[in-house]
Structure 1
Amino acid sequence: MAAPTATDVLVVGAGPTGLTLALQTHDHGARVRIIERRPDAFRPSRALILHPRTLEVLRPLGVTDALLELADTAPTVGLHLGSRIVEASLAHLSLPDTAFPHLSLMRQADVESVLAQALADRGVTVERGTELVTTRDDKHSAWAVLRSQQGTEEIRCPFVVGCDGPASTVRVCADVGWHGRPYTEEVVLADVDLSGNSGRSGAQVFAGRQGLLFLFPLGERAAWRLLATRASAGGSELDFGQPGPAVPYADLQRLLSDAGLDARIERLAWSARVPLQCSLAARFRRGRLFLAGDAAHNYSPATGQGMNAGIQDAVNLGWKLGFASNCSEGEAAGGLGNEVLLDSYDAERRAAAHRRLVLTHTVFWVEASTGRIPSWLRAVAAPRTAPAVPILLDRRRLVAEGIRFISQLRVNYRHSALSVDGRPRLRGAPRPGDRLPDAAVSVGGPPQRLHGLLAGPGVHVLLQRDATAPPESVLGSQVTVHRLRNSPGRGLIAVRPDGHVGFRCGTADAAGLSDWLSLIDATASP
């Protein structure tokens, strides 16, 4: 018989996805426990980029200031196209509807440190050296066996979430299929000190026939982090997405030379091969077991999706588990609203993951494939078109739209069961399921930014200037109401905790709002 616990959500894995999920779930009323089989935090970092949308969804958790203090928010990139070098800035992009109009270069290790500290500040400690042995859905609860130096422990809790990577134990125990294939290319990572690099300080990208080579000034054990693609050296026993054997010095130097870089490795501090795959779980939920991040989808590193996609998964799922955990015991056992809420995670995030898989696969083919066409594009076409690149980069709106696309600012959940349009429709407002854009608003006093106003947990209801306020009986403890005095009209918008519009109506329809809040269980008391 399993011992009783005070846990609503067991999070398995303490990378960026698991840490974010624990924070989001905790801040929406659930009692959370997070375990990690590794005794120490994983080092060195694999991910190095935070996207604007990721910073947006993390903002209500109160961690963005700490993240930005450690990030390079004005990164520059030198694009080496044959003999020509094109300088590009990824700061101050033409993205007026976000508070973060830039890419941010930041080590995954620093992201994890900030998130772990935020959890610790809430009284939640990562249980390192604790492994999930097995888990299953028992219909009315989840059952799990944990193993640590203290011994074996059995627990029951409402929900278990696998944030435990491509070889996810939770996914295996849930008997969820894993569809995809390995790439014939691999990534090489290394921390190096270089000589003869012309004193360049920003990120550098070299396009060659064998693939792309990146140099980031973010090495953890040396000045530069090298990331290169090449044909896979084999080794089926290696774990996909995980650093494997070290790469010989001569191989790394050859990669630099083949890329046309006139530099020598003065010191090699660390290196690893990383085998890659392109895979997607058949579902992200089975009963009370859920998958997020690399346990649910695995990409190439093209466009920097891995860490960002996992964090965005976690923010989507975390508030739903928090709200579901706050239901009464009878509702949690299978009330209609609860099931609609929990099913929406798979419906929303798996569709987004599939689109992202297509994006990363296409870009990685151009970046890394050694086939005739992509090799020609990198080695011949790119240098020939280099004179036109500065002209394209000067078109700031064009560059911004590219960043908007890859950073998932355009992701919407319009077909979700949680996206409801009231009657009459509120014209000129984001559609249900769309991300709510940032804008200047007035709620009394000096103007402020909308996303700053909503930077807190829970549901936020935005009333137009002349709208009737909903009665208190409609609102739960997780709902905050704001009146936008610079928005004429009588309508309202209900914004989900992940920043997407859930409900809108051209009038302040209290009954419609109440039905939507009941659908997501936001009327439940924590």
Structure 2
Amino acid sequence: MTTAVDVLVVGAGPTGLTLALQAHDHGARVRIVERRPEAFRPSRALIMHPRTLEVLRPLGVTDALLEQADTAPKATLHLGSRAVEASLADLALPDTAFPHLSLVRQTDVERVLAQALADRGVAVERGTELVAVRDDGYGARAVLRTPKGPEVIRCLFVGGCDGPASTTRACAGIGWHGRPYTEEVVLADLDLSGTPGGSGAQLFAGRRGLLFLFPLGEQATWRLLATRASHGGPGPDFGQPGPPVPRSELQHLLGDAGLDARIERLAWSARVPLQFRLARRFRRGRLFLAGDAAHNYSPATGQGMNAGVQDAVNLGWKLGFAASRPHDSTGGRDAEVLLDSYDGERRPAACRRLFLTHTAFWAEASTGPTPSWLRAAAAARAAPLVPVILQRRRLVAEGVRVISQLRVNYRRSPLSVEETPHLHGAPRPGDRLPDATVGVGGPPQRLHALLARPGVHLLLQRDAAPPPHEVLGPHVTALRVANSPGRGLVAVRPDGHVGFRCGKVDAAGLSGWLSLICATGQPPGRPRPPDDAG
């Protein structure tokens, strides 16, 4: 039996790496294991949403990610004989620092996150597989298969980020409901004779499905992604690249899409079987599921990596705070409420995403008569209207809000508390805190930049009384907003959602909420006073 840790993270994809970072930065001792000896190749995810960048910002990795990303992506939509240019940058999203979709390879995301963990002294243990795990009531006992032989460890919590075939989920006995799709995805990196008309990514709508070409190939110029009816037969795990696709079939896919280009070089290819599934629950005792271990979608709207990262950010701070909570009866009850809130908040959001991705995938990939007609005939006839729609920036931005989870709220969560007197004009408890320009002394600054560090943040209005020091703690920062008149208070969770709101600084109400969230006042540490405006 090896030395105990607080959180064992199983799986070192974007979800697992983010969970390890978030838990570590909120006080947990973390260990992260990955059964693959090397980082997974090729990238499956290529798009990062605005909300994902927001929740990663306090972990100090956003700048490095943006250096690897195309933050002003362009796309050409080929609808019949008409080509329509679209820009995915500078969307009408004034309440975020990232008003764009970002094209970035999953491998680059993993490299940045793994380096951030290494900088904190946490190494990804590759070639180490979870064999079995169980909750014994006081913690979890995990059996690992390592390059040096079997190992048994104890930990407080296990974060299962180990994909659709999750060992964590199987050991927890959590149901896995859904079914396979009758369509599959084809992936390939290839060089083409000539460049497809238009700039940036290319999308071709055809009767048999969609075909994308992204200038993000890892071993060639273009990454091809196409949908088609599944060929069936033996294959890999769902969502995992499997057998290669013959060059002739890839050339046929290009021809069906109306693309007059020849494959000059094929670096690699794979067929990927797909499914839509949802875990019956995201928590059983000390065992938690996140990312593809908790929900599996089609690639439509680019939810996989983004949803997993946002799961991890929601869960990580809760595990970190729960690990440092005192073990008396009050601390135990509050910890259960805190930990249960993960399933209560993220599973309903996952259900809504499942409906969204299933509907979008039906439209873009189903070979039924209605979606085939919509892609091949209706889309071509509606092509002249597309530029008009794209010029309506607010309409496009609203679509991005929904896709990227900027609209997700946790209003029904037990962590969302409204005290009297009500504070009007501020986001409701459970809502995402929008970005804004604020005054805190000196030049105006952006609110999200001021909150871009781990922990809980208390936003005091201009005339609010300072919160008593005894309700603060080492993970709580108070900030006075000089350009917000009033005596109220908003408390912001580490994942950027409002947790507490009141029209005055109610010491008892605030203390109760903070005790539920992070047991403030229990761990040692010097509270930080409010940063008052000059």
Matched, 1:174 2:172: yes
Paired residue for 1:375?
A: 372
The match for 2:133 is 135
2:382 corresponds to: 385
Pick from 215, 218, 221: which aligns with 2:219?
A: 221
Q: Matches of 1:403 and 1:262 in 2, distance apart? A: 32
Shift of 1:197: 2.6
8 Å contact from structure 1 (residues 197, 262) kept in 2: no
Aligned counterpart, 2:193: 195
* Structure-1 separation of matches of 2:424 and 2:513: 19
Find the residue that maps to 2:276 and give its secondary structure.
Answer: strand
| Contact persistence 2:15–2:305 (CA under 8 A) | yes
Contact 2:235 2:243 (8 Å CA) reproduced: no
In structure 2, distance between residues paired with 1:522 and 1:236: 51
Amino acid at match of 1:263: A
Task: Letter of the 2:276 partner, please give it.
Answer: C
Aligned to 1:59: 57
Letter matched to residue 466 of structure 1: D
Where does residue 415 of structure 2 map in the other structure?
Answer: 418
2-side partners of 1:96 and 1:216: how far apart? 28
Work out whether residues 196 and 259 of structure 2, in 8 Å CA contact, stay in contact via their aligned partners in 1: no
Q: Which residue of 2 aligns with 1:443?
A: 440
Match of 1:494 in 2: 491
In the alignment, residue 496 of structure 1 is paired with which amino acid? Answer: R
Equivalent-residue separation in structure 1 for 2:11 and 2:393 (angstroms): 39
Name 1:509's counterpart in structure 2. Answer: 506
Q: Find out whether 1:361 has 2:347 as its counterpart.
A: no
- Once the two structures are TM-superposed, the CA of residue 4 in structure 1 deviates from its matched residue by 3.5
Q: Provide the residue aligned with 1:70 in structure 2.
A: 68
What do you get for the CA RMSD once the two structures are aligned? 1.0
- Secondary structure of 1:490's aligned partner: coil
Question: Does the CA-based 8 Å contact 1:244-1:274 persist in structure 2?
Answer: yes
State the alpha-carbon separation in 2 of the partners of residues 114 and 199 from structure 1: 33
> Is the Cα contact below 8 Å between 1:337 and 1:521 reproduced in 2?
no
Shift of 1:195: 0.9
CA distance in 2, matches of 1:167, 1:236: 16
Aligned residue in 1 for 2:109? 111
Give 2:357's aligned amino acid: T
Gaps of 5+ in 2: 525-534
Instruction: Report the Cα offset of residue 201 of structure 1.
Output: 4.0
2:396 corresponds in structure 1 to 399
Q: Aligned residues, how many?
A: 523
* Residue of structure 2 equivalent to 1:50: 48
TM-score for the superposition, normalised by structure 2: 0.97
State yes or no: 1:408 paired with 2:405.
Answer: yes
- In the alignment, the residues of structure 2 paired with residue 427 and residue 492 of structure 1 have an alpha-carbon distance, to the nearest angstrom, of 11
Q: Which string of whole-angstrom CA distances, capped at 9 and with x for unpartnered residues, describes residues 475-521 of structure 1?
A: 11100000000000000000000000000001111111100001112
| Conservation of the 8 A alpha-carbon contact between 1:12 and 1:35 | yes
Task: Quote the Cα distance in structure 1 between the aligned partners of 2:144 and 2:485.
Answer: 56
Supply the AA of the counterpart residue of 2:359: T
Aligned ranges for residues 81-100 of structure 1 at < 5 Å? 81-100=79-98
Instruction: Give 3-state SS (helix, strand or coil) of 2:518's partner.
Output: coil
Q: Does 1:344 align with 2:341?
A: yes
Partner of 2:465: 468
* Partner of residue 80 from structure 1, selected from 64, 78, 81: 78
CA distance in 2: counterparts of 1:360 and 1:221, whole angstroms? 29
Aligned equivalents of 2:474, 2:485: Cα separation in 1: 27
The CA distance in 2 between the partners of 1:521 and 1:226, in whole Å, is 46
Q: 1:154-192 CA deviation, whole Å, 9 max, x = no partner?
A: 111100110000000000000000000000000000000
Kindly state the Cα deviation for residue 196 of structure 1 after the two structures are TM-superposed.
Answer: 2.7
**Stretches of structure 1 lacking an aligned partner (at least 5 in a row):** none
- Give the equivalent residue in structure 2 for 1:293: 291
The correspondence of residues 477-492 of structure 1 with structure 2, limited to 5 A, is: 477-492=474-489
Q: Is 2:85–2:198's contact at 8 Å kept on the other side of the alignment?
A: no
Which residue of structure 1 aligns with residue 11 of structure 2?
13
Deviation at 1:331, TM superposition (A): 5.7
Aligned-partner SS, 1:520: helix
* 1:309-362 deviation per Cα after TM superposition (whole angstroms, max 9, x unaligned): 000000000000000011123469x71110000000000000000000000000
Question: Could you tell me which residue of structure 1 aligns to residue 332 of structure 2?
Answer: 335
Structure 2 counterpart of 1:442, one-letter code: G
| Structure 1 counterpart of 2:248, one-letter code | A
Give the whole-Å Cα distance in 2 for the aligned partners of 1:278 and 1:151.
Answer: 36
Which residue is equivalent to 2:153?
Answer: 155
Q: Distance in 1 between matches of 2:235 and 2:375?
A: 31
Aligned to 1:33: 31
Give, as a single letter, the amino acid of the residue that structure 2 aligns with 1:21. Answer: L
**Residues 183 and 230 in structure 2, CA contact (< 8 A), matched pair in contact too:** yes
**Distance across 1 between alignment mates of 2:403 and 2:200:** 21
State the alpha-carbon separation in 2 of the partners of residues 446 and 237 from structure 1.
58
